[in-house]
Structure formats: structure tokens, C-alpha cells
Amino acid sequence: MKKLTNYEADLERFLKNKHNREYYEAYGKQLRVAYRLAELRQEAKLSQAQVAKKMGTKQSNIARLESGEQNFTYETLDKLATIFGKKLEINFV
């Protein structure tokens, strides 16, 4: 499995570019969730294909979720949380 890099360092490099910074301001929260999903999958020592099989979907769909290219539904996030042995919690602050 590909090792994840440091999120904060990657983000800092990414945000140096004005276009990237504007994109992040619009989609940053989704990107943070996407990165966390990839991190949780790797912590669970599962491949994208294994997660896809458990979800009843294709590996390419998991890849799109992890890259932030696909919107998340509550149902999808809840299924992923269960697969990763976690509980989904959403807070309004």
C-alpha cells in the first residue's frame, strides 16, 4: 500500500499556489474528510478494492471518495465508519 504523506506539510505546499488556495477555500472541508477516509482505510490495513467489496461498489468509487472528487452522503460515511471500526459523529459548532 502507498504510504500517506504528512497532511499539514502537503497542505502548506498546496496552498502556496493561488488557484489551489481558492479551490481549498471552496472545497477544503471535503478534502479533509477525503484525506481522513484514506488514512482510516490504511490504518485498517485495507486496500481500496477490499473496502469497495465490503461497500458493494467499485474500487474506482473509493478512489474518488478519497481524492475528494465525489460528494459524500451520510449513508456512505456511516458505512465506511462501520468498516473501519469507527462511529460517525457530525457536530454543528
Asked if residue 13 has pLDDT above 80, the reply is: yes
Task: Give the per-residue pLDDT at 4.
Answer: 57
CATH number (3.40.50.720, 3.40.50.2300, 1.10.260.40, 3.40.50.880) of 7-83 reads 1.10.260.40
For residues 56-62, average pLDDT: 97
Between 9 and 65, the more confident residue is: 65
In Å, what is the CA distance from 1 to each residue of 12, 17, 20, 41?
24, 29, 27, 10
pLDDT at 24 over 90: no
Say what percent of the chain tops pLDDT 70: 95
Prediction pTM value: 0.74
Instruction: State the average pLDDT over residues 57-81.
Output: 95
